[in-house]
Structure 1
Amino acid sequence: MGATGRARLSRPILGRLRLASQGLAGSGFRSAAAAVRWMTAMQAQDLGAALWAVGQRVPGSRTGDVRGAINRGEVVRSWPMRGTLHLLAPEDLKWMLAITADRLIRGLAGRHRELGISAADVGAAGATALQLVSGGAAASRAELFQAFERAGQPTAGQRGIHLLGILCQRGWLVQGPLAGNQQLVVAFDDWITESRALDRAEGIAEWLLRYLRSHGPATERDFAWWSGIPLTEVRAALAAVKDQLVEVTFEGTSYWLSPETAALLDGGVPAARSVLALPGFDEFLLGYTDRSLVLPPEHANRIVPGGNGVFRRTIVAGGQVVGTWEVSRTGGTVAVVPEPFDGVNGLRPAAQRSFELQAAKYRRFLGT
């Protein structure tokens, strides 16, 4: 199936289509759980940023709504791919880990040898952890690490966090309810009582389809990088699901998206004048291996200074990243300050007013 109006494709148009796919242009989602389930997985190593990423997609939501979804187990936070924390639907975690965990753990084998982590150590740590949290109990990370130490499993020098990561990737543990800005550790099967079962090929095909529907226009390479699944398997999955997608070509590259999103090319692509204050690590930027469609390469260092892996908050206008924003707190007051790439002219007056509305939305989300 092909989309009409292909001659209209441009970087801003592709960026705006991504906003629409991700629930950032239009009515959004009714709940945190619905937003996360649609997105399939949302980067979440920075908890505050992850909460706001969900909040931006759920109109009228507050931080307590997203935290509540985590506390009730409607959304879980774990390491399903790339060794990075993500938010995802609880019923998806087990089958995703079945696809990715072995490869993730093999990729860290050298580091595990440096830390002195053997298969026997993992088994001993797992038994210790389950003794601590089984039966519906929960433990802080500090309590878990203390239990490891008592069992003869050192936790210094990142050894503890690697043990925790392995046990989560093996489906023994998962992060559960929040205690302030930390998450308590719980037994996987106590916290997630219903899990879907998909074989590898079926799972990769569903994962790819859901990614392209929620992140498209995107490429097969974008998904291979995002998920950590080998490109050969991604291509086989694409062959199985491409009849449910639309292919468009821009500058010689094939992009895939849902028919509903592609139809916007005929009916009018939204968000031409929208301005969004997105968190650092938002899927709009991080969900792709090639970010140049929405972020001019000359400004990439403004988003990730020195390539340090820490993504700053972004201002997105008309589907393109046009600057960053900062937050300062004085007492109970939260100031939201734009830092546009154009340091001479700044944001245009209409964009500045739209950004101020975004700042007010962010403060309401925080409850300040």
Structure 2
Amino acid sequence: MHQQHLAGPPCADPAAAVRRLGCVQSQEYAVAKWSLAQRCAPGVVDADVQRMVDDGVVLRTHILRPTWHFVLGEELGWIQAVTGPRVHVFNGYYNRMHGLDPSTAAATNKLITDALRGGNHLTRNELGAALAAGGFPATGNKLAYVVMFAELEGLIANGVMRGKQHTYALVSERVPAPVVRSPEEGLAELTRRYFTSHGPATIKDFVWWSSLTVAEIKRGIAACGSALTSATLDGRTLWFAADAPPPASPPPAALLQGYDEYVVAYSDTKFAYNLSGAATPGRYPENTMLHPIALDGQVNGFWRRKPRTKTVTLEIDLLVEPTARQRQALTTEIERYEAFAGVPVAISFV
């Protein structure tokens, strides 16, 4: 939690949080914005994060794994170049099912980029209309994969929000000065970034997070030289920054988004946030959009966000009886979320 800035010194702003973590999963958009603000000093509100996304400082796109992530606009190109080819491999079945061979993908990419050129910011359905007009009709899952292919090529990412609708825009028009790295430099930097911001973590953890192969990751670790170090615990080799400062104590309470990097960025060491054993499997069905509540770093509860017209209700389900200190910290965390959301928050305990 210290390395991810959920404890200890806060990040300067949401862009600094994204830079620190490399990429931040943002599948559920409203609370993904909260996860960035949460890593900054109190006072960052939803509109501040949204402004950075609309301005292209932070972009939202399919990157790392075939799901949504925040990434710095200036860094999207080199990260996509490192990981995009691997995600194409994972998407291979659906790409073949939808007829997205290299020749067809080149044609759909051109139709999409032509439609967006000149500062056009279009919704996915509007891109679908442009594809249909060009002789390639696509809707539903097929349209999603056609558009994702262009994202993974680093051609498009999010545009400006249009009311409550997400749009797409050309990366070349959103990012005036992209950071350029060679493939090997990019691999080394992404490796350093992950183990610095998410460590201690194993190679298996990084395989899950990045979609890279073990061989690629070992090459990246070697390229980092003395910047990374390792330790062995219970048969696992854990990698982390050689100059990592002594960790701060975890926060007494943290409202985490369901896809927060603290819980989603690991496969081999996921157990670390449930050493208490309170978050038992099977309590909730999969994909119920519940978000973890971490008490002193351990997942000891869940919350659900229910937006209303002018309010938000948070349903709180605590799996343990919190201490007085934890309960007060949870109240403070809820008040901070209310300030971030900018609407009154009602609490319901279940």
Under a length normalisation based on structure 1, what TM-score does the superposition of the two structures give? 0.86
Match of 1:276 among 249, 254, 259: 254
Change (3 A) 1:354 1:117: same
Q: Are the aligned partners of 2:209 and 2:266 in contact in 1 as well (CA < 8 Å)?
A: yes
What corresponds to 2:49 in structure 1?
A: 66
| Gapped regions of structure 2 (runs ≥ 5) | 344-350
Query: Cα 1:328–1:186, aligned 2, differ >3 Å: closer, same or farther?
Result: closer
Give deviations 1:267-300, integer Å, cap 9, x for gaps. Answer: xx42355211111100001111131011256735
Question: Paired residue for 2:127?
Answer: 144
1:38 aligns with one of 17, 20, 27: 20
Work out whether residues 230 and 237 of structure 2, in 8 Å CA contact, stay in contact via their aligned partners in 1: yes
**2:271 aligned with 1:288:** no
The letter for the 2-side match of 1:36 is V
What are the Cα deviations for residues 107-163 of structure 1, in whole angstroms up to 9, with x where unaligned? 322222222333333222222222221122211222111111222212224111111
Corresponding residue for residue 55 of structure 1? 37
Rounded to whole Å, the distance in 2 between the matches of 1:123 and 1:331 is 43
Aligned-partner Cα distance in 2 for 1:220–1:72: 35
Report whether the alignment pairs 1:209 with 2:188. no
| CA deviation string 1:292-342 (max 9, x = no partner) | 011256735368x44x35652111122211111123455533333321223
Match 2:91 to one of 74, 92, 108: 108
Which residue of structure 2 aligns with residue 11 of structure 1? none
Q: How do residues 142-221 of structure 1 correspond to structure 2 at under 5 angstroms?
A: 142-221=125-204
- Which amino acid in the other structure matches residue 365 of structure 1? F
SS in structure 1 at match of 2:301:
strand
Residue type of the alignment partner of 1:114:
M
CA-to-partner distance for each residue in 1:200-225, whole Å, 9 max, x for gaps? 22211110101111111111221121
> Residue 39 of structure 1 contacts residue 210 of structure 1 at CA under 8 Å; is this kept in 2?
yes
| CA deviation vs aligned residue, 1:35-56 (integer Å, no higher than 9, x gap) | 1111110001111121011011
- Structure 1 residue aligned with 2:311: 333
Q: How many residues align?
A: 340
CA apart distance, 1:231: 0.5
- Structure with more contact order per residue of length (Cα contacts < 8 Å, sep ≥ 6): 1
Q: 1:10 — aligned with what?
A: none
Q: Residues 94 and 171 of structure 1 are in contact (CA less than 8 Å); yes or no, is this contact kept in structure 2?
A: yes
1:5 aligned partner: none
Amino acid at match of 1:289: S
2:340 corresponds in structure 1 to 365
Match of 1:350 in 2: 325
CA contact (8 A) 2:25 2:32 kept: yes
Mark the CA change 1:244 to 1:45 in structure 2 (over 3 Å): closer, same or farther: same
Give the 3-state SS of the residue equivalent to 1:336 in structure 2.
strand
- Distance (whole Å) between structure 1 residues aligned to residue 126 and residue 194 of structure 2: 36
Divergent runs of 4+, >6 A: none
Change (3 A) 1:300 1:312: farther
Q: Name structure 1 gaps, 5 residues minimum.
A: 1-18
Q: Tell whether the 8 Å contact from 1:281 to 1:312 is kept in structure 2 after alignment.
A: no
The code of the aligned residue for 1:292 comes to: F
Higher helix share: 1
